[in-house]
Amino acid sequence: MFGLSLSTFRERWQLFLGAILTVVIGVALVQSSLLILISAAVPEIPAGLSEAAANRLRDGYTGAIVLLAMTLGIAAFLAVFIVSSTFAFTISQRRRDLALLRLVGGSRGQLRRLLLSEALLLGVLGTGIGVPAGLVVMRVQSWLLTDLGFLPDVFAPRWQDWILGVSAGVGIGVALLGVLSASRRASKVRPLEALRDTGAAARVMTFSRWFFGILFLAGTAALLIVAPLAGPDGAIPMSINAAITASIGLTALSPLIVPLVGRVLGLVLRPSTLGGLAQANLRDGVRRSASTAAPLLVLVALVLGMSGSLATISLADKEDLARTVTADLVVPSAGATAPGVAVASTEVTVPVVATISKHDKEKDDGTDALVIDADAYRQLHSRAPLSGSLADLHGMTVATTDYAVGDTITLRVGDQEQERRVVAVVAQAVNGGTDYLLPRDSVPPAALADGEAETFVKAAPGVDPATLRAALPGALPVHDWIERRASAHDSMNSGIMTVLMGLAGLYALMAVVNAVVIAAAARKAEFAAARVTGLTRRQVVGAALIESWAVAVIGLLLGGVAAAGTLTGIGAAMGKLTGVTVYAVPWSALGLVVLGAFAVVGLTSVATSLAATRPAPVSPVGARE
């Protein structure tokens, strides 16, 4: 069987090219991301660095670690998804060849071993190319993360020998997982049914499609129900995972949806000859249309889901600050003394290390705390604690987003380790923020001197804030401060989207091109028959283009449905947290995805249909199967 697999690989390499490239990129990305992630998670701390400076250095890698973890998850998911969909489509295109193999004496087990051997060859080849490619990707990825501000300029990833085993496991594992379900399904089809394209061979909606489609859509509904009950740290991953589960569920059920959408599009396409032909092909080639629409569906779900979630969080943060911060001005320094100042609240962000006990084990967590004067803070921030009172925040006490009133926690502030009693539980910040509020009188002066200070100012009655601003160097109106703060977060979010959208777009591009190429390779006789009946070559290519664009519309619509679920979940979560439900639709990302999808699908369709119609129409029509 291995020799037969090798022969198939040599003769039909075009069918496997997209899957090989997917495995190569998957191996390269996983290898690169893991090496950078480990180097960032355990950075080299220069000798002689203070504890506070060391904590700041470690915190500087947090954004990169989160982004790399997301990259790893999405790369693994897309690699398995695209390889499996490619193999499923390839096997369906080869069902007659596989049926002949069964008719000449091949057993179901031998058929499965043949397909698994092909996957093994694909995985070995993809791993062999992906490992050296990963070294190049690591350099590019490190440069990109440094350029976007996620990593310091001095960062250098460290090579680990064990990564070779991980890369081999990823490449071969992705290939075998991708073909496992399709090989099992192909081995169950009776050979005569496959030859005649009847019975189980002609059935697109299999039991596994029904099962996984309903299962993942039910999982999506569960995630969207639970997401509003979690804080921002839980709502964001739940909502993004909802986009993934929704895209898998809709992809599994797409053979049901494609004909329905095709009928609707038929109202527009049917009046013209080419449109009518495209609509008939769309209705007849359900498996082909579903395979082409699947990567577009996932691309739209991920890109719009993630970008919409980040934009919604940013908008909710601005709305929340505008409602709860009652100051008129913000001064980027400690203290604000000038005639006309009614209340001034100086807030200093300092690094702290919290000792957290979980499962009878203790670990140190480096984070930030906000040092405040409780009376002034309460006058300029209207949000009340969830429990307890900030009036009790003095001495060795703390207000926190976690724990309960009366608990005792250990914090290391500067060089001092302190036992503090929780006197208030405050709501978690929407977009960043600190986990602890500390009273000023309990923080060492050296720690305050090393912190970053801002002073919120309220003008006295009858005093114009604009006049007061002129007397306070660097002061900003509070709405400008909110916009600047949001802009800083948006800059980081745009960096995240640059990396992840590029990753998702690259995978989708390969998958779409591969699906269109595989489909066109099997349609030479169909195109020739259309030309023999009177259509010109240009008309056949035009009908194929219209059909491919209709499939793109289907993928975009289904992906939009999955992304809408993500926005619903994150919007509801932000509404529960802030009291105001907002949604931000990423129109620019949507426009870019739509234009890119139509361009890629259209160009690939035209190129492949031109190649398929190059021979004289009599040759493919008269050729034996």
Q: What is the 3-state secondary structure (H, E, C) of 110-154?
A: HHHHHHHHHHHHHHHHHHHHHHHHHHHHHHHHHHHHHHCCCCCCC
Q: 621 is written with which tokens?
A: 């029509």
Angle at 398 between CA 327 and CA 343, to 5 degrees: 20
Cα distances from 603 to residues 125, 411, 505, 513, 549, in angstroms, run 28, 60, 16, 9, 10
Contact 51, 350 (CB under 8 A): no
pLDDT at residue 3, rounded to an integer: 67
Contact 223, 569 (CB under 8 A): yes
* DSSP state at residue 388: E
Dihedral, 256, 260, 261, 263 alpha carbons, nearest 10: 140
pLDDT at residue 48, rounded to an integer: 54
Q: pLDDT, tens digit, for every residue of 210-253? A: 888 899 989 888 888 887 777 666 777 777 788 888 888 888 88
3-state secondary structure labels for all residues of 273-330: HHHHHHHHHHHHCHHHHHHHHHHHHHHHHHHHHHHHHHHHHHHHHHHHHHHHECCCEE
Cα–Cα distance, 312 to 9 (Å, whole number): 47
pLDDT at residue 397, rounded to an integer: 92
**What are the start-end ranges of the H helices in 523-536?**
524-532
Q: 8 is written with which tokens?
A: 């198939």
Residue 581: name the closest of 228, 243, 304, 238 by CA. Answer: 228
Could you write out the DSSP letters of every residue in 317-375? HHHHHHHHB--SEEESSS----TTEEEEEEEEEEEEEEEEEETTEEEEEEEEEEEE-HH
Cα–Cα distance, 422 to 403 (Å, whole number): 8
pLDDT at residue 299, rounded to an integer: 81
Greatest CA separation found in the chain?
98
Ranges of residues in the chain with a pLDDT under 50 are 198-202, 358-361, 624-625
Angle at 298 between CA 540 and CA 138, to 5 degrees: 110
Q: 96 is written with which tokens?
A: 């007659």
Cα–Cα distance, 63 to 148 (Å, whole number): 11
Contact 260, 525 (CB under 8 A): no
* Phi, psi (rounded to 5 degrees) for 526: -65, -45
pLDDT at residue 232, rounded to an integer: 61
